[in-house]
Amino acid sequence: MINHLITQKNWQTQLSEAVTSVDELLTMLNLESLKPQVYIPEHFELRVPRGFVAKMRVGDAEDPLLRQVLPDKQEQVAVSGYVTDPLAENEQNPTKGLLHKYQSRVLLTITGACAIHCRYCFRQHFDYSANMPTTSAHAAIISYIEAHPDINEVILSGGDPLSVSNRRLFAWLDTLEALPQLTTIRLHTRMPLVIPERLDNDLLDRLAQSRCHIMMVIHCNHANEIDTNTAEYLQRARKAGVTLLNQAVLLRGINDSVATQGALNQRLFSAGVLPYYLHVLDKVAGAAHFDSDERLAIELYWSLLAELPGYLVPKLVRELPNRRFKVPVDIYKK
């Protein structure tokens, strides 16, 4: 019944009613006993939509969805090699709101807002206030793209591009579609998992009408994130002509087993989504407790190759600073 009541609300209401109190979250899940191991962040505070909370198991301190969002005191431990800008994105920022790391595509940070704050987020320290593309900055972005004819794809990111209104999002689509050199527009988003109702009819109709190939790369780490309601909305997007891919992050104790990865990739496929990337964790400050040993990641990958058909096995990659591509993990490493 709780899930039903949540899904009757539009996505904007669900976004505004997200849980931001650690105490409230623990009470909702009957996990007040966890208080000694959590803390209240001054920066990158707790934020999780109630529909996502409803997918968590009440009373389970090890719930894989809860562990992704609950601020843990381990975040406060400084660990050598884990830094605030692990991908050196501040060096790839030629104009406000635009990152150019890869030759044929650029990434636009059109918002700093996310519906959910994942504790391992590699942009949790990113200076969005200095990088939000104001209306006056749009012209500079377009001029930059036009000055680089090799660019044929734009990635809308943030933050989460689907956390902005349809009016703002459609304005970006109109602007980008007017550039003849662009063939593909990609949206990187967690919204379809945390507030599936964001894939409303207005959005899907607009995406279906685009002259560009629309790709939506969702970020799902565990099969429990995809319930029946979520799967239905993902299938709607697929029927609207949107190519759906998933990129997951390998998280210690959450999805670093053959069973959890197998279940995730099979659940994705049943919802119309193809596994795309499995990322080794970016070494962002505060997230060291989520990291897995690379040797274990390689062993896991070989096991997935043996268990699943090839189209259900994502590429195992890591992203490194100042590299113009995602770097495949050497699965033959001894």
pLDDT, tens only, 205-232: 999 999 999 999 999 999 999 999 999 9
- Please report, for residues 127, 139, 145, the alpha-carbon distance to residue 178 in angstroms, rounded to integers and kept in the order given: 29, 13, 12
Which band of pLDDT confidence, cut at 50, 70 and 90, is reported for residue 90? low
Which band of pLDDT confidence, cut at 50, 70 and 90, is reported for residue 97? confident
Query: What is the assigned CATH class of domain 89-328?
Result: alpha beta
Q: Which of the 8 DSSP states describes residue 215?
A: E
Kindly give the interhelix angle for 294-307 and 258-270, rounded to the nearest 10 degrees.
50
Nearest residue to 287 via CA among 128, 156, 117, 131: 117
Nearest residue to 274 via CA among 247, 301, 256: 247
In the chain, where are the structural domains located?
2-76, 89-328
Q: Cis before residue 159, ω within 30 degrees of 0?
A: yes
CA of residue 159 relative to chain centroid, distance = 9
Strand partners, 214: 185
For the CA atoms of 9, 11, 12, 15, the dihedral, rounded to the nearest 10 degrees, stands at 100
pLDDT for the residue numbered 175: 95
What's the token pair of residue 164?
A: 């902005």
CA of residue 48 relative to chain centroid, distance = 13
Number of helices (H), then strands (E), belonging to the chain: the values are 12, 9
Tell me the chain's radius of gyration from C-alpha atoms. 19
d(CA 334, CA 323): 24
Query: pLDDT of 259-312, one tens digit each?
Result: 999 999 999 999 999 999 999 998 999 999 999 999 999 999 999 999 999 999
DSSP states of 151-162 as a string?
--EEEEESS-GG
